[in-house]
Amino acid sequence: MKKALLKNSFKEIKTSYKRFISILLIALLGVGFFAGLRASSPDMVDTIDKYYKEQNVYDIQIMSTLGLTDSDVEAISEIEDVENVYGTYSEDILIKTDNKELVSKVLTVDDVNKPRLIEGNMPANSNECVVEKTFLTSTGKNIGDTITLEANDENEIIKELNLKIVGIVESPLYISRERGTTSLGTGSINNYIYISRDNIESEIYTEIYITLKESNKYTTGSNRYEDYVEEVKDKIEGIKEEREQARYDELIGEANEEIAKAEDEFNTQKADGEKQIAEAETKLQDGKNQLTDAENEIKTNETSANKQFAEAEKKISNAKVEVQENEDKLEEQKQSVTAKLSEAEEQKTELNANLQTIDTTLTRT
Protein backbone atom coordinates (compact mmCIF):
# COMPACT_ATOMS: atom_id res chain seq x y z
CA MET A 1 0.00 0.00 0.00
CA LYS A 2 2.82 2.40 0.95
CA LYS A 3 4.78 1.52 -2.19
CA ALA A 4 1.74 2.27 -4.33
CA LEU A 5 1.21 5.61 -2.54
CA LEU A 6 4.85 6.61 -3.01
CA LYS A 7 4.81 5.50 -6.61
CA ASN A 8 1.65 7.50 -7.26
CA SER A 9 3.13 10.53 -5.48
CA PHE A 10 6.32 10.45 -7.55
CA LYS A 11 4.23 10.04 -10.65
CA GLU A 12 2.17 13.10 -9.73
CA ILE A 13 5.34 15.09 -9.03
CA LYS A 14 6.84 14.01 -12.32
CA THR A 15 3.78 14.98 -14.32
CA SER A 16 3.42 18.39 -12.55
CA TYR A 17 6.97 19.07 -11.41
CA LYS A 18 6.73 22.82 -12.16
CA ARG A 19 3.85 23.29 -9.77
CA PHE A 20 5.63 21.14 -7.20
CA ILE A 21 8.81 23.19 -7.44
CA SER A 22 6.79 26.43 -7.15
CA ILE A 23 5.01 25.20 -4.03
CA LEU A 24 8.31 23.98 -2.60
CA LEU A 25 9.98 27.37 -3.19
CA ILE A 26 7.04 29.20 -1.61
CA ALA A 27 7.22 26.93 1.41
CA LEU A 28 10.98 27.42 1.70
CA LEU A 29 10.56 31.20 1.39
CA GLY A 30 7.89 31.26 4.09
CA VAL A 31 9.98 29.12 6.41
CA GLY A 32 13.03 31.33 5.75
CA PHE A 33 11.05 34.52 6.38
CA PHE A 34 9.59 33.11 9.60
CA ALA A 35 13.02 31.94 10.75
CA GLY A 36 14.42 35.40 9.98
CA LEU A 37 11.71 37.07 12.03
CA ARG A 38 12.26 34.67 14.87
CA ALA A 39 15.99 35.37 14.77
CA SER A 40 15.83 39.17 14.19
CA SER A 41 13.40 39.91 17.00
CA PRO A 42 15.78 38.85 19.80
CA ASP A 43 18.62 40.60 17.99
CA MET A 44 16.60 43.83 17.82
CA VAL A 45 15.72 43.53 21.52
CA ASP A 46 19.37 42.90 22.39
CA THR A 47 20.45 45.85 20.24
CA ILE A 48 18.06 48.32 21.85
CA ASP A 49 18.89 46.93 25.31
CA LYS A 50 22.62 47.41 24.69
CA TYR A 51 22.03 50.90 23.29
CA TYR A 52 19.88 51.95 26.25
CA LYS A 53 22.46 50.67 28.74
CA GLU A 54 25.33 52.40 26.94
CA GLN A 55 23.44 55.70 26.93
CA ASN A 56 22.29 55.19 30.54
CA VAL A 57 18.61 55.59 29.67
CA TYR A 58 16.31 56.02 32.65
CA ASP A 59 14.18 53.27 34.16
CA ILE A 60 11.60 55.58 35.74
CA GLN A 61 10.63 59.15 34.91
CA ILE A 62 8.93 61.51 37.37
CA MET A 63 7.24 64.77 36.41
CA SER A 64 5.23 67.30 38.41
CA THR A 65 3.16 70.35 37.53
CA LEU A 66 4.64 72.11 40.58
CA GLY A 67 8.22 71.28 39.64
CA LEU A 68 10.72 69.08 41.49
CA THR A 69 13.46 70.00 43.96
CA ASP A 70 16.64 68.63 45.51
CA SER A 71 14.51 67.50 48.45
CA ASP A 72 12.54 65.26 46.07
CA VAL A 73 15.81 63.90 44.65
CA GLU A 74 17.06 63.15 48.16
CA ALA A 75 13.80 61.47 49.22
CA ILE A 76 13.74 59.26 46.12
CA SER A 77 17.42 58.34 46.56
CA GLU A 78 16.59 56.75 49.92
CA ILE A 79 14.13 54.28 48.36
CA GLU A 80 15.27 50.69 48.13
CA ASP A 81 16.59 49.52 44.71
CA VAL A 82 17.09 53.10 43.49
CA GLU A 83 20.65 53.49 42.25
CA ASN A 84 20.86 57.03 40.81
CA VAL A 85 18.47 59.98 40.71
CA TYR A 86 18.97 62.80 38.22
CA GLY A 87 17.19 66.14 38.29
CA THR A 88 17.05 67.50 34.75
CA TYR A 89 15.56 70.34 32.73
CA SER A 90 13.63 70.50 29.47
CA GLU A 91 11.58 73.19 27.76
CA ASP A 92 9.55 73.63 24.58
CA ILE A 93 10.71 76.74 22.76
CA LEU A 94 10.16 78.58 19.47
CA ILE A 95 12.97 79.15 16.99
CA LYS A 96 12.55 81.42 13.95
CA THR A 97 14.93 81.05 11.02
CA ASP A 98 14.44 82.48 7.51
CA ASN A 99 10.75 83.25 8.14
CA LYS A 100 10.22 79.67 9.34
CA GLU A 101 8.94 78.97 12.85
CA LEU A 102 9.91 75.69 14.52
CA VAL A 103 9.18 74.27 17.96
CA SER A 104 12.16 72.56 19.56
CA LYS A 105 12.46 70.49 22.72
CA VAL A 106 15.42 71.94 24.61
CA LEU A 107 17.16 69.36 26.82
CA THR A 108 20.24 69.50 29.03
CA VAL A 109 23.27 67.24 28.62
CA ASP A 110 23.36 65.01 31.72
CA ASP A 111 24.75 61.67 32.85
CA VAL A 112 21.37 60.09 32.14
CA ASN A 113 19.79 59.67 28.68
CA LYS A 114 23.14 60.64 27.19
CA PRO A 115 22.90 61.72 23.53
CA ARG A 116 25.25 59.99 21.06
CA LEU A 117 27.57 62.36 19.24
CA ILE A 118 27.46 61.92 15.45
CA GLU A 119 29.56 64.89 14.36
CA GLY A 120 31.32 67.85 15.95
CA ASN A 121 31.60 68.38 19.71
CA MET A 122 29.38 68.37 22.76
CA PRO A 123 28.54 71.83 24.23
CA ALA A 124 31.33 73.06 26.48
CA ASN A 125 29.95 76.53 27.26
CA SER A 126 26.58 78.06 28.07
CA ASN A 127 26.34 79.63 24.59
CA GLU A 128 26.77 76.33 22.69
CA CYS A 129 24.32 73.62 21.68
CA VAL A 130 24.05 70.41 19.67
CA VAL A 131 21.12 69.50 17.43
CA GLU A 132 19.69 66.54 15.58
CA LYS A 133 20.32 66.08 11.87
CA THR A 134 16.75 66.98 10.85
CA PHE A 135 17.13 70.39 12.49
CA LEU A 136 19.96 71.28 10.11
CA THR A 137 18.00 69.89 7.16
CA SER A 138 14.84 71.86 7.91
CA THR A 139 16.58 75.16 8.75
CA GLY A 140 19.50 75.11 6.33
CA LYS A 141 21.89 75.66 9.22
CA ASN A 142 25.32 74.06 9.65
CA ILE A 143 27.74 73.39 12.46
CA GLY A 144 29.24 76.73 13.44
CA ASP A 145 26.08 78.73 12.74
CA THR A 146 24.14 80.59 15.42
CA ILE A 147 20.47 80.22 16.33
CA THR A 148 18.27 82.37 18.57
CA LEU A 149 15.68 80.97 20.94
CA GLU A 150 12.50 83.03 21.26
CA ALA A 151 12.18 84.56 24.72
CA ASN A 152 8.89 84.06 26.56
CA ASP A 153 7.55 83.67 30.09
CA GLU A 154 7.94 79.90 29.98
CA ASN A 155 11.67 79.74 29.20
CA GLU A 156 13.02 82.05 31.87
CA ILE A 157 15.23 79.19 33.11
CA ILE A 158 17.46 79.51 30.03
CA LYS A 159 20.08 82.23 30.47
CA GLU A 160 21.69 82.44 27.03
CA LEU A 161 19.27 82.48 24.06
CA ASN A 162 21.83 82.99 21.29
CA LEU A 163 23.46 79.60 20.77
CA LYS A 164 26.21 78.35 18.49
CA ILE A 165 25.70 74.90 16.92
CA VAL A 166 28.79 72.80 17.71
CA GLY A 167 27.62 69.28 16.90
CA ILE A 168 25.04 66.75 15.74
CA VAL A 169 23.63 64.11 18.10
CA GLU A 170 21.11 61.30 18.35
CA SER A 171 18.93 61.18 21.47
CA PRO A 172 17.96 57.86 23.07
CA LEU A 173 14.71 59.52 24.14
CA TYR A 174 13.53 59.82 20.53
CA ILE A 175 13.95 56.51 18.68
CA SER A 176 10.98 57.11 16.36
CA ARG A 177 10.36 60.24 14.28
CA GLU A 178 7.60 61.38 16.64
CA ARG A 179 8.78 64.22 18.87
CA GLY A 180 5.66 64.75 20.97
CA THR A 181 3.12 67.56 21.34
CA THR A 182 3.29 71.06 22.77
CA SER A 183 1.16 74.11 23.49
CA LEU A 184 3.34 76.24 21.20
CA GLY A 185 3.11 76.86 17.46
CA THR A 186 1.22 74.20 15.54
CA GLY A 187 1.08 71.89 18.55
CA SER A 188 3.82 69.50 17.43
CA ILE A 189 7.49 69.44 18.43
CA ASN A 190 9.67 69.49 15.31
CA ASN A 191 13.09 68.58 16.73
CA TYR A 192 15.28 68.57 19.83
CA ILE A 193 18.29 70.59 20.98
CA TYR A 194 20.76 69.85 23.77
CA ILE A 195 22.33 72.66 25.81
CA SER A 196 24.81 72.78 28.68
CA ARG A 197 23.65 72.68 32.30
CA ASP A 198 25.63 75.93 32.71
CA ASN A 199 22.92 77.65 30.64
CA ILE A 200 20.24 76.92 33.26
CA GLU A 201 19.54 79.29 36.15
CA SER A 202 16.70 77.45 37.90
CA GLU A 203 16.80 75.28 41.01
CA ILE A 204 13.47 73.66 40.13
CA TYR A 205 13.75 70.55 37.96
CA THR A 206 11.23 69.79 35.22
CA GLU A 207 11.84 66.02 35.38
CA ILE A 208 13.56 63.48 37.59
CA TYR A 209 15.03 60.37 35.97
CA ILE A 210 15.78 57.25 37.99
CA THR A 211 18.05 54.27 37.27
CA LEU A 212 17.65 51.07 39.31
CA LYS A 213 20.29 48.88 40.88
CA GLU A 214 19.21 45.59 39.34
CA SER A 215 17.94 46.86 35.97
CA ASN A 216 21.13 45.82 34.12
CA LYS A 217 20.36 42.18 34.98
CA TYR A 218 17.22 42.29 32.86
CA THR A 219 16.62 42.90 29.19
CA THR A 220 14.95 46.22 28.51
CA GLY A 221 11.27 45.72 27.78
CA SER A 222 11.15 42.16 29.07
CA ASN A 223 8.42 41.03 31.46
CA ARG A 224 10.90 40.59 34.30
CA TYR A 225 12.25 44.10 33.71
CA GLU A 226 8.75 45.60 33.63
CA ASP A 227 7.78 43.76 36.83
CA TYR A 228 10.94 45.00 38.55
CA VAL A 229 10.28 48.60 37.50
CA GLU A 230 6.67 48.36 38.66
CA GLU A 231 7.81 47.18 42.09
CA VAL A 232 10.02 50.23 42.51
CA LYS A 233 7.26 52.50 41.13
CA ASP A 234 4.97 51.24 43.87
CA LYS A 235 7.59 52.20 46.45
CA ILE A 236 7.88 55.66 44.93
CA GLU A 237 4.10 56.00 44.95
CA GLY A 238 4.35 55.43 48.72
CA ILE A 239 6.07 58.79 49.22
CA LYS A 240 4.09 60.61 46.51
CA GLU A 241 1.54 62.26 48.80
CA GLU A 242 4.24 63.20 51.32
CA ARG A 243 6.38 64.86 48.63
CA GLU A 244 3.39 66.55 47.02
CA GLN A 245 2.35 67.98 50.39
CA ALA A 246 5.92 69.07 51.13
CA ARG A 247 6.17 70.80 47.75
CA TYR A 248 2.76 72.39 48.25
CA ASP A 249 3.75 73.63 51.71
CA GLU A 250 7.02 74.96 50.29
CA LEU A 251 5.21 76.88 47.57
CA ILE A 252 2.59 78.12 50.03
CA GLY A 253 5.38 79.19 52.38
CA GLU A 254 7.14 81.05 49.59
CA ALA A 255 3.85 82.59 48.52
CA ASN A 256 3.09 83.63 52.10
CA GLU A 257 6.55 85.19 52.40
CA GLU A 258 5.95 87.09 49.17
CA ILE A 259 2.52 88.14 50.44
CA ALA A 260 4.01 89.26 53.76
CA LYS A 261 6.69 91.26 51.95
CA ALA A 262 4.06 92.72 49.67
CA GLU A 263 1.86 93.58 52.66
CA ASP A 264 4.78 95.23 54.50
CA GLU A 265 5.65 97.19 51.40
CA PHE A 266 1.99 98.06 50.90
CA ASN A 267 1.61 99.18 54.52
CA THR A 268 4.78 101.27 54.26
CA GLN A 269 3.60 102.83 51.04
CA LYS A 270 0.12 103.25 52.51
CA ALA A 271 1.53 105.06 55.56
CA ASP A 272 3.67 107.25 53.32
CA GLY A 273 0.67 107.86 51.10
CA GLU A 274 -1.56 108.73 54.04
CA LYS A 275 1.13 111.08 55.37
CA GLN A 276 1.44 112.73 51.98
CA ILE A 277 -2.35 112.95 51.74
CA ALA A 278 -2.56 114.52 55.21
CA GLU A 279 0.16 117.01 54.29
CA ALA A 280 -1.59 117.74 51.02
CA GLU A 281 -4.93 118.19 52.82
CA THR A 282 -3.24 120.55 55.30
CA LYS A 283 -1.74 122.52 52.44
CA LEU A 284 -5.08 122.46 50.69
CA GLN A 285 -6.88 123.71 53.79
CA ASP A 286 -4.24 126.41 54.25
CA GLY A 287 -4.80 127.38 50.64
CA LYS A 288 -8.54 127.43 51.20
CA ASN A 289 -8.08 129.60 54.29
CA GLN A 290 -5.80 131.94 52.38
CA LEU A 291 -8.32 132.03 49.57
CA THR A 292 -11.14 132.81 52.02
CA ASP A 293 -9.06 135.57 53.65
CA ALA A 294 -8.24 136.94 50.23
CA GLU A 295 -11.90 136.83 49.23
CA ASN A 296 -12.89 138.56 52.47
CA GLU A 297 -10.18 141.14 51.96
CA ILE A 298 -11.33 141.65 48.39
CA LYS A 299 -14.92 142.03 49.58
CA THR A 300 -13.79 144.48 52.28
CA ASN A 301 -11.66 146.39 49.84
CA GLU A 302 -14.47 146.30 47.32
CA THR A 303 -16.95 147.70 49.88
CA SER A 304 -14.48 150.37 50.91
CA ALA A 305 -13.71 151.15 47.28
CA ASN A 306 -17.39 151.29 46.46
CA LYS A 307 -17.93 153.64 49.39
CA GLN A 308 -15.00 155.78 48.34
CA PHE A 309 -16.24 155.69 44.76
CA ALA A 310 -19.69 156.77 45.95
CA GLU A 311 -18.21 159.56 48.07
CA ALA A 312 -15.98 160.62 45.18
CA GLU A 313 -18.89 160.57 42.79
CA LYS A 314 -20.91 162.62 45.29
CA LYS A 315 -18.06 165.07 45.65
CA ILE A 316 -17.71 165.27 41.89
CA SER A 317 -21.43 165.81 41.58
CA ASN A 318 -21.33 168.51 44.26
CA ALA A 319 -18.30 170.05 42.61
CA LYS A 320 -20.10 170.04 39.29
CA VAL A 321 -23.07 171.82 40.92
CA GLU A 322 -20.73 174.27 42.62
CA VAL A 323 -18.85 174.88 39.37
CA GLN A 324 -22.13 175.45 37.60
CA GLU A 325 -23.25 177.84 40.32
CA ASN A 326 -19.91 179.63 40.14
CA GLU A 327 -20.20 179.76 36.38
CA ASP A 328 -23.68 181.22 36.73
CA LYS A 329 -22.44 183.75 39.30
CA LEU A 330 -19.52 184.61 37.09
CA GLU A 331 -21.86 185.11 34.17
CA GLU A 332 -24.06 187.35 36.31
CA GLN A 333 -21.00 189.24 37.46
CA LYS A 334 -19.83 189.55 33.86
CA GLN A 335 -23.22 190.91 32.88
CA SER A 336 -23.20 193.27 35.88
CA VAL A 337 -19.69 194.48 35.11
CA THR A 338 -20.61 194.87 31.47
CA ALA A 339 -23.66 196.90 32.44
CA LYS A 340 -21.58 199.00 34.82
CA LEU A 341 -18.96 199.49 32.16
CA SER A 342 -21.65 200.59 29.72
CA GLU A 343 -23.04 202.92 32.32
CA ALA A 344 -19.56 204.23 33.09
CA GLU A 345 -18.95 204.65 29.38
CA GLU A 346 -22.15 206.64 29.10
CA GLN A 347 -21.16 208.68 32.11
CA LYS A 348 -17.75 209.19 30.62
CA THR A 349 -19.27 210.33 27.36
CA GLU A 350 -21.65 212.60 29.21
CA LEU A 351 -18.77 213.89 31.31
CA ASN A 352 -16.69 214.56 28.24
CA ALA A 353 -19.60 216.37 26.72
CA ASN A 354 -19.94 218.44 29.90
CA LEU A 355 -16.22 219.13 29.88
CA GLN A 356 -16.42 220.37 26.31
CA THR A 357 -19.34 222.57 27.22
CA ILE A 358 -17.40 223.96 30.15
CA ASP A 359 -14.31 224.43 27.98
CA THR A 360 -16.41 226.26 25.40
CA THR A 361 -17.97 228.41 28.02
CA LEU A 362 -14.68 229.28 29.54
CA THR A 363 -13.22 230.05 26.18
CA ARG A 364 -15.99 232.52 25.37
CA THR A 365 -15.66 234.20 28.58
Residues 47-56 pLDDT 10s: 787 888 888 8
pLDDT score for 36: 65
pLDDT band at 192 (very low <50, low <70, confident <90, very high): very high
Sign of CA dihedral 74, 79, 85, 91: negative
CA distance 339 to 205: 132
- 155 pLDDT above the threshold of 60: no
CA distance 200 to 156: 9
pLDDT band at 222 (very low <50, low <70, confident <90, very high): confident
pLDDT score for 165: 93
**Ranked by mean pLDDT, which of 100-114, 143-157, 320-334 comes out on top?**
100-114
pLDDT score for 34: 67
pLDDT score for 40: 60
pLDDT band at 11 (very low <50, low <70, confident <90, very high): low
Residue 208 neighbours by CB distance under 10 Å:
22
pLDDT score for 320: 79
- 203 pLDDT above the threshold of 90: no
Domain boundaries, given as residue ranges, for the chain: 60-239
pLDDT band at 247 (very low <50, low <70, confident <90, very high): confident
Mean of pLDDT over the chain: 81
Among 122-126, 247-251, 304-308, 344-348, whose mean pLDDT is lowest?
A: 247-251
Tell me: the pLDDT tens digits for 59-91? 999 988 888 888 889 989 999 888 999 999 998
- 173 pLDDT above the threshold of 60: yes
pTM: 0.62
pLDDT score for 251: 67
pLDDT band at 144 (very low <50, low <70, confident <90, very high): very high
